[in-house]
Amino acid sequence: MLLAIDVGNTNVTIGVFDGTTLVHNWRLAALRDRTADELGILVTRLFETTHVQVETVSGIVVASVVPPLTRPIEEMCGRYFGRPALLVDAANAGIPIDYFPPGDVGADRIVNAVAAREKYGRGGEVPLIVVDFGTGTTFDVISRDGEYVGGIICPGIGISAEALFQRAARLPLVEVRKPDGVVGQTTVAAIQSGLFFGYVEMVDGLLRRIREEVAGGEDAVVIATGGLAGVLSSEARGIHHVEPNLTLEGLRLIWQRNRPA
């Protein structure tokens, strides 16, 4: 069994692999003041509810973009699972990185690139673009040669909705979803239209510009992941595949490449 942990700004996503099969996955709120013991109690309780024995975990791999949570996660792994965690970074991910400095690339972005390259790289025939709809929305580009060459970082759609609510006194905070039409006939529908369709057009527009700039971009395969990937990808014309567990799969691949003989 492999325990894979993706520590993001909004959620801590936890996956358990039996070999290459993801058998369980959960999401916890990424509360930055949680202690190792609090995390340990939560995670081991999740194991109990699914009848998975803690003792069966033979490896742990972690990608974290939240420094205040990285150390408690490491302590939790040692204290409750009796094993050190492999922390993913630019040096051990196993993918060439053309970014300056390489250490500035978020671990989740590297992990997504590794997973996309493994599943959709077609032996170096096409470039890849990964769109991750998380707290921020990121676009990451992998060249035909399998090199991570950079990307784009945008505010997430949830952040946009919250900012509009906080800065406009008469506008409500709305659920992000596809409205019935583009022209909203209520305030809520109008906001939803602006958020949803505006974001879809932003995604398609940025994908078009990336394709124009990257060698072989006209053939690029686009993979979406993240919490709202399924919702937004239904309208974004430039997205080819939706992989909700892309980050966990990438963590598994990186663990396999780094695990002791």
Residues marked as catalytic = 108
Q: Is 239 helix (H, G, I), strand (E, B) or coil?
A: coil
- CA 43, CA 45: separation in Å to the nearest integer? 5
Q: What is each CA distance from 202 to 126, 192, 206, 219, in whole angstroms?
A: 23, 15, 6, 20
Cis peptide before 84 (omega within 30 of 0): no
**3-class DSSP state for residue 19?**
coil
Task: Please give the sequence-ordered ranges of beta strands (E in DSSP) within the chain, or none if there are none.
Answer: 2-7, 11-18, 21-29, 59-64, 86-87, 128-133, 136-142, 148-155, 221-226, 241-242
CA 36 to chain centroid? 23
**Rounded (5°) CA angle 105-73-30:** 75
**Cα–Cα distance between 175 and 191 in angstroms, integer?**
9
